[in-house]
């Protein structure tokens, strides 16, 4: 058994939580098999194929090592593929803005809250200036 349906393989490898979600992911065209986009859930994949997919805003590149027989534990699922994914892009590590308040000044008033929001850059719809 060296070839398997793509939706089953994604489910067995724990890339998605259910086969239904795997089918929806494939049908949206978010999966490439060997650099070619596929929207067929019954596309056959096997060892040596490279999957490129976007799952939960992360780019994953996996080389298939083996076809799965069941959805087992995570250690068993990790043996089905080799992860070739690029490292995630680091977020900018800007320190959070702290609003200065006198100790014991009590809870912030509405005006204080608006000023704090403006400092943080959270000006939204309920800004009244």
Structure tokens, 88: 């995630």
Beta strands in 57-105 (DSSP E): 58-64, 81-83
Q: What is the pLDDT of residue 55?
A: 83
Surface-to-core class of residue 90, CB atoms within 10 Å of its CB (0-12 exposed, 13-18 middle, 19+ buried): exposed
Beta strands in 29-83 (DSSP E): 31-33, 36-38, 44-45, 50-55, 58-64, 81-83
pTM above 0.95, yes or no: no
**Is the model's pLDDT at 101 over the cut of 80?**
no
* Cα 9 to Cα 80: distance, rounded to the nearest angstrom: 9
Domains of the chain, CATH where assigned: 4-83 (3.10.290.10)
If one compares 96 and 113, the residue with the highest pLDDT of the two is: 113
Is residue 42 a contact partner of residue 110, using CB atoms and an 8 Å limit?
no
Beta-bridge mates of residue 31: 38, 53
Task: For residue range 50-97, list pLDDT tens digits in order.
Answer: 999 988 878 899 999 999 899 999 999 999 999 999 887 777 766 666
* Cα 87 to Cα 15: distance, rounded to the nearest angstrom: 17
**Is the model's pLDDT at 100 over the cut of 70?**
yes
């Amino acid at each position: 058994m060296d070839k398997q349906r793509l939706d089953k393989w994604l489910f067995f490898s724990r890339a998605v939580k259910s086969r239904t979600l795997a089918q929806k992911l494939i049908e949206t065209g978010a999966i490439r098999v060997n650099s070619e986009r596929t929207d067929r859930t019954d596309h056959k994949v096997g060892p040596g194929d490279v999957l490129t997919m976007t799952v939960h805003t992360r780019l994953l590149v996996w080389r298939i090592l083996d076809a799965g027989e069941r959805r087992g534990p995570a250690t068993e699922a990790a043996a089905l593929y080799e992860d070739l994914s690029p490292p995630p892009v680091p977020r900018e590590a800007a320190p959070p803005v702290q609003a200065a308040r006198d100790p014991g000044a009590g809870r912030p008033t509405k005006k204080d809250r608006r000023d704090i929001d403006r400092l943080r850059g959270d000006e939204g719809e309920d800004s009244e200036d």
